[in-house]
């Protein structure tokens, strides 16, 4: 096997893994705050690629302006997800987790259909927001977009981690997780905290769509694999563990990058499924996760 191909596959896999980290982190944020697994999160990644195309190509905004506007749209759509799919059943459902599995699936499916009707089913090319002139890495040409994606993805996740540990919002967030009733007695509006978390997760998901758009293009099908691989990264790394999502997502990225060299272009999905199953058979809570529904114990220790 060509060593050049292997190294390029590793680099591209790690870059994609950083994007999967963003998706996995957005899943984990929502799960930690509310116990809800938001199946509409993948739809927000897809909308991020399409918004990137419309804002950047149709209206001609710069890359930084496009990123900022896409992020703001993600904040709004994350809040809409909470209002439409979670809030109406929050006080009426015996099991919020199980009911919202259906409501978020329904919202995501309806949004996918509406987007397809508006945007069409064709893929639209999104040019790289950095130079496409290859750079040499150990004598091998590499698209700079892959390095930028890896750096941006990991920096965003690190910023979220720092914010959760060292800012006032992070303290309120952790207080709400540890004791929602006690937080309410101290005047903390727990619903508002959950709403903010949904907004933040929406922004992260759509920003992931912006970053990956030059590679996967903009289409209604652009995020199908991204959502699955992000979930797989969270499952392998550990439910409820923010650090685990980074480890698991990078592992998934390496599998996605390397498996086509052995099994062909259709190898990544079954290879990732096999990895998920093997890890969960040995450690049901993932490599760095905790026990409880969606790693509830670990989610409350961030």
Query: What pLDDT is stored for residue 256 in this prediction?
Result: 93
Nearest CA among 19, 12, 7, 8 for reference residue 249 = 19
pLDDT number for residue 74: 96
Alpha-carbon distance 45 to 88, whole Å?
24
Single pTM value for the model? 0.86
Contact 242, 200 (CB under 8 A): no
Mean pLDDT, range 51-74, rounded to an integer: 95
Position 178 scores a pLDDT of 64
The per-residue pLDDT for range 64-89, each reduced to its tens digit, is 999 999 999 999 999 999 999 988 88
Report how far residue 19's alpha carbon sits from residue 15's, in angstroms, rounded to the nearest whole number: 7
**Per-residue confidence (pLDDT) for residue 298, from 0 to 100:** 47
CA–CA dist 171, 149 (Å, integer):
29
* Residue percentage of the chain with pLDDT more than 70: 88
Q: With contact defined as beta carbons under 8 Å apart, do 240 and 299 qualify?
A: yes
Token pair recorded at residue 242 = 């923010």
**Residue reference for tokens 């499916």:** 109
At 116 the three-state DSSP class reads helix
What is the rounded distance in angstroms from the CA atom of residue 205 to the CA atom of residue 249?
14
Per-residue pLDDT tens for 81-119? 999 998 888 777 666 677 888 899 899 999 999 999 999
Q: How far is CA 57 from CA 39, 111, 132, in A?
A: 29, 22, 17
What token pair was written down for 164?
A: 């959760």
N-terminal to C-terminal alpha carbon distance within the chain? 42
What is the predicted pLDDT for the residue at 151? Answer: 87
Given the structure tokens 């099991």, which residue do they identify?
Answer: 95
Give the up-direction half-sphere exposure of residue 63: CA atoms within 13 A in the CB hemisphere: 12
> How many angstroms separate the CA atoms of 25 and 17, rounded?
12
With CA atoms as reference, report the closest residue to 243 among 294, 174, 299, 176: 299
Q: Largest Cα–Cα distance of the chain, in whole Å?
A: 63
The kind and range of the H/E element at 73 are: helix 63-81
Specify the higher pLDDT residue, 21 or 190. Answer: 21
């Amino acid at each position: 096997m060509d060593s050049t191909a292997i190294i390029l596959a590793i680099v591209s896999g790690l870059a994609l893994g950083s994007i999967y980290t963003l998706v996995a982190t957005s899943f984990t944020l929502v799960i930690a705050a509310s116990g809800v697994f938001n199946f509409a999160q993948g739809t927000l990644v897809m909308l991020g690629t399409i918004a990137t195309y419309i804002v950047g190509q149709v209206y001609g905004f710069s890359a930084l302006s496009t990123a900022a506007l896409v992020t703001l749209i993600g904040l709004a759509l994350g809040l809409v997800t909470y209002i439409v799919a979670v809030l109406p059943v929050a006080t009426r459902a015996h099991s919020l987790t199980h009911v919202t599995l259906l409501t978020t699936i329904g919202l995501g499916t309806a949004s996918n259909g509406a987007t397809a009707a508006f945007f069409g089913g064709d893929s639209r090319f999104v040019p790289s927001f950095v130079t496409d002139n290859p750079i040499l890495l150990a004598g091998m040409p590499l698209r700079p977009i892959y390095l930028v994606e890896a750096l941006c993805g990991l920096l965003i996740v690190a910023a979220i981690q720092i914010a959760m540990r060292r800012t006032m919002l992070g303290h309120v967030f952790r207080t709400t997780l540890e004791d929602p009733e006690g937080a309410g007695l101290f005047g903390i509006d727990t619903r508002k905290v959950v709403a903010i978390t949904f907004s933040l997760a929406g922004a992260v998901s759509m920003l992931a769509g912006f970053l990956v758009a030059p590679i996967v293009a903009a289409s209604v099908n652009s995020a199908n694999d991204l959502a699955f691989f992000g979930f797989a990264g969270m499952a392998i790394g550990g439910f409820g563990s923010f650090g685990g999502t980074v480890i698991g997502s990078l592992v998934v990225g390496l599998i996605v990058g390397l498996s086509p060299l052995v099994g062909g272009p259709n190898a990544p999905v079954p290879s990732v499924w096999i990895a998920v199953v093997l890890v969960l058979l040995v450690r049901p809570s993932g490599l760095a996760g905790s026990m409880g529904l969606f790693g509830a114990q670990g989610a409350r220790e961030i």
